[in-house]
């Protein structure tokens, strides 16, 4: 059993590191990378994902496809901390010669796919899930998607497909931060009732508070161990820009860059 206190400390640290990266590379999508921190922390430090930092393409690893590519800046410090690459790389994000860009790509050890354009990850994960089943592999496929991505039609092709093929080795986590680039998702095209939509497409569903470490940990652990005959989706209700009050209350936080002094202040206020 992993202590949730340890996981909470890791989340606090990851947010701080994410803000430090943003200081170096102001074009990084900060708010999107703060809503999914607990999810990353639990997956990597909570014993959920199987991985080998020294061999990122280890055959027995769980596949983790991050469909909301821009929101994975907070994963950089985690991957460095675990040894996927050297920690000194974190001081070079977005700089000439670095492989850590504003949007992650497959040059980075530990990233399975490139997802600058949204709405592709789940379909790719469906193919991977079938391949693993045919190999009779125990590995699972995890996908992280933003709720705004659900506006992409191709996502629904994949949701239908996964349900139809009963891809029970596929676990989708939705970082449901409820804000797209220009507005709240509900004002653009209302996605609710989201859980019911997945249910009628043949998925097992769960809804949690994506910032409550106990909930995130228990739900993911349960999903990983549970035997179901359906693909599973965990809708994690989150706050875009979580931890930085200046972002949390701003519907336009997606493209917001913080100034030097704002970052220092935000780090000081993190809890």
Partner 1 sequence: MNSAQSKTMRDAFIEAIYEKMRENERIFFLSADFGSPALDKLREDFEDRFINVGIAEQNLINVSVGLALEGNIVYAYAIAPFITMRDYEQIRQSLAISSQVRPVNVNLIGVGAGLSYDVSGPTHHCMEDISVMRLLPNFTVFSPSDRLLAKKFIDYSINVRMPKYLRFDSKALPEIYDNINDLKIEEGFYELVKGKKVCLVSTGFMTHRALKAAKELQDVGVVDVFMLKPVNEKLLLETLKEYAYIITIEEGFIGNGGLDALISKVILDNQLNIKLKRMGFNDKYVFELGGRDYLHKLNNLDEEAIIKAIKDFAV
- Give me the residues that bind partner 1 (CB under 8 A), please: 105-107, 112-117, 120, 122-132, 134-135, 153-154, 157-158, 160-161
Phi, then psi, of 140 in degrees rounded to 5: -115, 165
Answer whether 84's CB lies under 8 Å from 56's CB: yes
Distances (CA, A) of 63 to 39, 45, 81, 265: 15, 16, 19, 37
Nearer to partner 1, 118 or 173 (CB): 118
CB of 213 to partner 1, least distance (A): 31
The alpha-helical segments, DSSP class H, found in 25-61 are: 30-34, 37-45
Collect all residues with Cβ–Cβ distance below 8 Å to 55 and sequence separation of at least 6. Answer: none
CB of 170 to partner 1, least distance (A): 10
CB of 81 to partner 1, least distance (A): 23
Nearer to partner 1, 107 or 182 (CB): 107
Distance between CA atoms of residues 75 and 30, nearest Å: 12
Nearest alpha-carbon partner for 236 in 206, 208, 199, 212: 208
Nearer to partner 1, 57 or 192 (CB): 57
Nearer to partner 1, 135 or 226 (CB): 135
Structure tokens given for 186: 């509900």
Answer whether 179's CB lies under 8 Å from 185's CB: yes
CB of 251 to partner 1, least distance (A): 27
Nearer to partner 1, 50 or 256 (CB): 50
Distance between CA atoms of residues 41 and 47, nearest Å: 10
The alpha-helical segments, DSSP class H, found in the chain are: 4-24, 30-34, 37-45, 75-82, 121-134, 153-164, 185-188, 194-200, 213-225, 245-248, 260-269
CB of 150 to partner 1, least distance (A): 14
CB of 135 to partner 1, least distance (A): 7
How are beta strands 170-176 and 204-209 bridged, if at all?
unpaired
Structure tokens given for 163: 């349900």
Answer whether 117's CB lies under 8 Å from 146's CB: no
CB of 185 to partner 1, least distance (A): 21
């Amino acid at each position: 059993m992993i202590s949730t206190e340890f996981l909470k400390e890791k989340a606090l640290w990851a947010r701080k590191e994410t803000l430090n990266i943003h200081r170096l590379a102001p074009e990084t999508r900060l708010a999107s990378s703060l809503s999914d921190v607990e999810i990353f922390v639990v997956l990597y430090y909570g014993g959920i994902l199987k991985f080998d930092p020294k061999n990122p393409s280890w055959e027995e690893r769980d596949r983790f496809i991050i469909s909301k590519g821009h929101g994975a800046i907070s994963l950089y410090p985690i991957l460095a901390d675990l040894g996927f690459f050297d920690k000194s790389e974190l001081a070079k994000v977005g700089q000439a010669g670095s492989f850590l860009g504003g949007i992650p790509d497959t040059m980075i050890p530990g990233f399975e796919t490139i997802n600058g354009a949204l709405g592709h990850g789940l379909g790719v994960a469906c193919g991977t899930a079938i391949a693993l089943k045919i190999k009779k592999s125990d590995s699972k496929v995890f996908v992280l998607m933003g709720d705004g991505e659900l506006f992409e039609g191709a996502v629904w092709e994949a949701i239908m497909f996964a349900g139809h093929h009963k891809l029970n080795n596929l676990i989708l986590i939705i970082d449901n931060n409820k804000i797209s680039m220009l507005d709240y998702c509900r004002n653009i095209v209302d996605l609710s009732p989201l859980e019911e939509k997945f249910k009628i497409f043949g998925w097992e569903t769960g809804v949690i508070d994506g910032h409550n470490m106990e909930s995130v940990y228990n739900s993911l652990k349960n999903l990983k161990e549970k035997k179901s005959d359906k693909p599973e989706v965990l809708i994690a209700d989150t706050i875009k820009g979580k931890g930085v009050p200046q972002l949390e209350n701003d519907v336009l936080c997606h493209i917001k860059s913080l100034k030097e002094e704002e970052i220092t202040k935000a780090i000081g206020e993190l809890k």
